[in-house]
Chain A
């Protein structure tokens, strides 16, 4: 049995934009190897959590730890690629670049040559370029995208683009993968496939996964633990069975009135 330690820790984190408290005093921790879901009605602060984790926002209050390192003052490019990899709600691939290029770009932080090596085409340059191409192709192979390596990303169908985005997030070998609504627009069958997919890449790439999602089917099936947010505040945290029938959660989604007239 692996000794599970908290890989991600939110300590009373608050994210305020002027008068708006997007995230208010939220604390939770995610153990290594977990698949952790974050759910809540629209505007609850889910994507804000991701943005804080990626360094896009600096928390107004509290501290965020990843692998025991406080992230508060780190710029995004230092967090991404070392600790975290993420996908986006609206796919943000580099549309005019090939799939392989998209991955190579994401390896920026893992490339250890400088301008001197580039201009003089040193051995280091050649070795690093070979290495990153090999690693990128390896990831593409894992995700069954090898045949699409040289296709312009923007021309791919939606499903393939989603996989490319995940490949891109994984190529820098992060410890944590943030998936922002990966099931958006999927039908029930596709969600089942996604479930298997997430579990597979988690073990193949040795990841801890955080998942923001609206599709309850996926969340309940794949997550080990779920955080429910409402109006930026932590509502409840627990295992899927606990969350599924939790009164407060249902109220948050459906509204008090509906609750009273419904069940």
Chain B
């Protein structure tokens, strides 16, 4: 019983993190129609930013909440700026050209970030200082950690705030308009360039928050983590339907379920990968646009 409760908490915790990652990726896709291979590396960079600021702050205070809040703020601002810079330099010049060019360019950007950090900082994995204090407490037989609850709360809060932003602010509504029909939106006076920047900022914000939560579970991080994060974000987003926030959340939880259940049931970690891939193919065969994706009927 208690093991199931623990696994359930694990699942919700992991699912919410994957959901955040997938949301960030999906927003950029929905607005800029780009499979952003730089998404994971941007996540990785934000992790390092959090690390350095947190380490720095810990020399002045021992309050982990304060450190968390401040380093998160610091990292969000810098990561968002980085994302906007990338968009202006490597993506905007390609708008209107072949679609492949955007994806390939994002691969290049991802590489620069990954190898840049690798060469400038070093390949040795680092350990994130504690951002969310872990106080284990018992529910019956089950050992639950406070950190898990906080992670879940932070993730849900982020999604709620995002939802409020998208549904109740002018920029948010403009965002939805561009995602549905960019040309019509431009006729309404919505600047596409501005909205694309907003999308990248939101993506970066989600990634940074996700990074802080991710490293609370998996303490170590290294330059190559971007690849793994990319893969998780892609799968979760595709499962639910790329460009669709609800889909990203669903996909995140499906992925987490597969991972947790897979780890319990299957002997070797590889078979987990096989399971995930098999489920992905199955879902896409039945619903080629993802679980919550919209079917596009091509006009002949």
Q: Please list the residues of chain A having a beta carbon within 8 angstroms of any beta carbon in chain B.
A: 17, 47, 51, 54, 56, 88
**B1: A residues at CB distance < 8 A:** none
Bound-state CA distance A54–B297 (Å) is 16
* B300 in the interface (beta carbon within 8 A): yes
Bound-state CA distance A124–B297 (Å) is 40
Contacting pair A17 B300 (CB below 8 A): no
Contacting pair A47 B297 (CB below 8 A): no
Bound-state CA distance A88–B297 (Å) is 17
Tell me the smallest distance from the CB of A58 to a CB of chain B, in Å.
13
Docked complex: B246-300 residues within 8 A CB-CB of A: 297, 300
Contacting pair B297 A56 (CB below 8 A): no
Q: Indicate the size class of the contact surface on chain B.
A: under 10
Q: Which residue of A lies closest to B298 (CB)?
A: A56
**B300: A residues at CB distance < 8 A:** 47, 51, 54, 56, 88
Bound-state CA distance A17–B296 (Å) is 12
Bound-state CA distance A17–B300 (Å) is 15
A-B contact pairs, 6 of them (CB 8 A): A17-B297, A47-B300, A51-B300, A54-B300, A56-B300, A88-B300
Tell me the smallest distance from the CB of B251 to a CB of chain A, in Å.
25
**A17: B residues at CB distance < 8 A:** 297
**A51: B residues at CB distance < 8 A:** 300
| Top 6 closest pairs, chain A to chain B, by CB | A56-B300, A51-B300, A88-B300, A47-B300, A17-B297, A54-B300
Tell me the smallest distance from the CB of A130 to a CB of chain B, in Å.
33
Bound-state CA distance A56–B299 (Å) is 10
Q: Which residue of B lies closest to A50 (CB)?
A: B300
Bound-state CA distance A17–B297 (Å) is 10
Bound-state CA distance A101–B297 (Å) is 28
**B297: A residues at CB distance < 8 A:** 17
Q: Which residue of B lies closest to A54 (CB)?
A: B300
Tell me the smallest distance from the CB of B225 to a CB of chain A, in Å.
41
Bound-state CA distance A247–B110 (Å) is 67
Bound-state CA distance A183–B300 (Å) is 18
Bound-state CA distance A47–B297 (Å) is 14
**A56: B residues at CB distance < 8 A:** 300
Q: Which residue of B lies closest to A90 (CB)?
A: B299
Bound-state CA distance A47–B298 (Å) is 13
Tell me the smallest distance from the CB of B269 to a CB of chain A, in Å.
40
Bound-state CA distance A51–B300 (Å) is 7
Bound-state CA distance A226–B300 (Å) is 23
Bound-state CA distance A47–B299 (Å) is 10
Tell me the smallest distance from the CB of B287 to a CB of chain A, in Å.
16
Bound-state CA distance A56–B297 (Å) is 11
**A54: B residues at CB distance < 8 A:** 300
Bound-state CA distance A116–B300 (Å) is 34
Tell me the smallest distance from the CB of B254 to a CB of chain A, in Å.
26
Tell me the smallest distance from the CB of A38 to a CB of chain B, in Å.
15
Tell me the smallest distance from the CB of B111 to a CB of chain A, in Å.
30
Bound-state CA distance A54–B300 (Å) is 11
Tell me the smallest distance from the CB of A6 to a CB of chain B, in Å.
25
Tell me the smallest distance from the CB of A155 to a CB of chain B, in Å.
19
Bound-state CA distance A88–B299 (Å) is 11
Bound-state CA distance A46–B300 (Å) is 12
Tell me the smallest distance from the CB of B98 to a CB of chain A, in Å.
12
Q: Which residue of B lies closest to A88 (CB)?
A: B300
Bound-state CA distance A108–B297 (Å) is 26
Bound-state CA distance A117–B300 (Å) is 34
Tell me the smallest distance from the CB of A110 to a CB of chain B, in Å.
22
Bound-state CA distance A129–B151 (Å) is 66
Tell me the smallest distance from the CB of A165 to a CB of chain B, in Å.
14
Bound-state CA distance A95–B300 (Å) is 17
**A88: B residues at CB distance < 8 A:** 300
Tell me the smallest distance from the CB of A57 to a CB of chain B, in Å.
9
Bound-state CA distance A51–B298 (Å) is 12
Tell me the smallest distance from the CB of A18 to a CB of chain B, in Å.
10
Docked complex: B40-69 residues within 8 A CB-CB of A: none
Q: Which residue of B lies closest to A56 (CB)?
A: B300
Question: How would residues 221 to 252 of chain B score, 1 for a CB under 8 Å from any chain A CB and 0 otherwise?
Answer: 00000000000000000000000000000000
Bound-state CA distance A242–B300 (Å) is 31
